[in-house]
């Protein structure tokens, strides 16, 4: 088996099914990645040429009260995957997050900007990066942000569900970032050709996002407008801007969570990570699925 994908049922992995179809996909039912010893042993036994780690503990608020679980999945599992990759001389694609930064900047974060996570999720993802970087020479750490898709749980789908009532939505307008379509990320990972003999991108840490900078409020406005235009909503509800202080949550979030896109990634396959086209694709997929079940 040349490629193994961990986290088979997540947003990113569901898109990898389309872009890296020859890979073997391991979900929770195959293996609990929090069992680091078992993960390393199973990977070494399977002997892939590349491992794509799309598994993660992504519940940002819940991580505040479950730091041990977050650490196991976001640190110990990538460390185990990195040990296996090192033993096999395989490549490791590991996905990380904008939440490794504190959001106090006012220009986009470059790959080498100082990290300073605000919460348990970001801290665990940062430690996972360090484990991968320390153990496995042949690694790509792809930091991405605000991931959405027609699959799984994400902000776009929450907005669509809430918008069905037609009532106004109150959405935070003072946090900025770059929404990223999971399908674009899956296309980039395929373009890396991680199991190939010559890496398409130098090993290291890269920012895999792009497109215009938006607030959650601006993103929500675009989601409901386009969903209404495509007939997924009867009409677009009003979207009212609120501040972070109006919406207290267990985990602090970066205010300026904007990654500077890596030029080398754009050069690789022309990927611009334009989230507006990603949004069209995600909504079209949902519209197609709704049509398919309409008698
Ligand atoms: N979502 C975002 O907004 C965002 C933003 C920036 C970076 N990222 C990063 O992007 C990557 C992909 O994220 P995503 O949005 O695709 O995540 P996701 O949809 O939450 O998927 C993560 C997958 O990991 C699996 N998983 C968690 N714990 C596991 C365990 N102990 N054993 C086996 N599988 C386990 C989950 O399984 P179950 O389905 O069974 O729970 C889930 O299918 C992650 O590294 C994430 O940190 C995400």
Catalytic residue among 57, 121, 151, 181: 121
In the 8-state DSSP scheme, what is residue 153? S
Query: In Å, how far from its chain's centre is CA 146?
Result: 7
pLDDT of the residue at 295:
47
Q: Which of 10, 18, 69 to mutate to test the pocket of ligand 1 (most atoms within 8 A of CB)?
A: 10
Q: Which of 56, 109, 145, 151 to mutate to test the pocket of ligand 1 (most atoms within 8 A of CB)?
A: 56
Closest ligand 1 atom to 33 CA: 32
Residue 19 burial by Cβ neighbours in a 10 Å radius (0-12, 13-18, 19+): middle
pLDDT of the residue at 1:
56
Give pLDDT tens digits along the chain (295 positions). 599 999 999 999 999 999 999 999 999 999 999 999 999 999 999 999 999 999 999 999 999 999 999 999 999 999 999 999 999 999 999 999 999 999 999 999 999 999 999 999 999 999 999 999 999 999 999 999 999 999 999 999 999 999 999 999 999 999 999 999 999 999 999 999 999 988 889 999 999 999 999 999 999 999 999 999 999 999 999 999 999 999 889 999 999 999 999 989 988 878 889 999 999 999 999 998 766 555 4
Question: Residue 91 contacts by C-beta under 8 Å, 6 or more apart in sequence?
Answer: 49, 50, 51, 85, 138, 139, 140, 194, 195, 199, 203
Which residue ranges form the domains of the chain, and what is each CATH number?
3-154+180-212+259-273 (3.40.50.720)
- Contact at 8 Å (CB) between 151 and 8? no
Q: How far is the CA of 248 from the centre of ligand 1 (A)?
A: 24
Residue 113 burial by Cβ neighbours in a 10 Å radius (0-12, 13-18, 19+): middle
Integer Cα distance of 123 and 125 in angstroms: 5
- Ligand 1 atom 2, closest CA: 147
Ligand 1: residues whose CB is within 6 Å? 7, 9-12, 28, 32-34, 54-58, 73, 95, 97, 125, 144-147, 152, 182
Q: What angle do CA 78, 118, 137 make, to 5 degrees?
A: 25
In b/e form, how buried is each residue of 59-71, taking b as 16+ CB within 10 angstroms? ebeebbebeebbb
Write down how long the chain is: 295
Structure tokens at 189: 């990972």
Closest ligand 1 atom to 155 CA: 3
Q: How far is the CA of 235 from the centre of ligand 1 (A)?
A: 32
- Contact at 8 Å (CB) between 262 and 110? no
* Cα–Cα distances in angstroms (integers) from residue 93 to residues 5, 133, 188, 194, in the given order: 9, 11, 11, 7
Integer Cα distance of 215 and 15 in angstroms: 25
pLDDT of the residue at 270:
80
- Ligand 1 atom 42, closest CA: 10
121 among known catalytic residues: yes
């Amino acid at each position: 088996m040349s490629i193994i994908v961990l986290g088979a049922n997540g947003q990113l992995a569901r898109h990898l099914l389309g872009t890296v179809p020859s890979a073997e996909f391991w979900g929770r039912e195959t293996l609990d990645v929090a069992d680091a010893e078992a993960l390393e042993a199973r990977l070494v036994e399977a002997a892939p040429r590349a491992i794509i780690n799309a598994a993660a503990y992504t519940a940002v608020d819940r991580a505040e009260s479950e730091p041990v679980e977050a650490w196991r999945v976001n640190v110990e599992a990538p460390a185990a995957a990195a040990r296996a990759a090192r033993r096999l001389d395989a490549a490791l694609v590991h996905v990380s997050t904008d939440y490794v930064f504190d959001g106090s900047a006012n220009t986009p974060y470059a790959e080498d900007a100082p990290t300073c996570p605000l919460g348990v999720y970001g801290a665990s993802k940062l430690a996972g990066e360090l484990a991968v970087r320390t153990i496995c020479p042949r690694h790509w750490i792809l930091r991405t942000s605000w991931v959405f898709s027609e699959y799984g749980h994400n902000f776009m789908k929450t907005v669509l569900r809430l918008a069905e009532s037609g009532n106004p939505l109150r959405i935070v307008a003072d946090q900025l970032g770059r929404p990223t379509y999971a399908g674009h990320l899956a296309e980039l990972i395929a373009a890396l050709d991680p199991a190939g003999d010559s890496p398409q991108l130098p090993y290291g840490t890269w920012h895999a996002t792009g497109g215009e900078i938006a607030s959650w409020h601006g993103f929500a406005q675009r989601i409901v407008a386009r969903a209404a235009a495509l007939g997924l909503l009867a009409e677009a509800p009003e979207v009212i801007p609120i501040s972070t202080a109006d919406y207290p949550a267990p985990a602090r979030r970066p205010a300026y969570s904007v990654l500077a896109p890596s030029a080398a990634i754009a050069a690789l396959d022309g990927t611009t990570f334009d989230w507006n086209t990603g949004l069209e694709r995600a909504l079209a997929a949902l519209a197609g699925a709704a049509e398919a079940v309409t008698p």
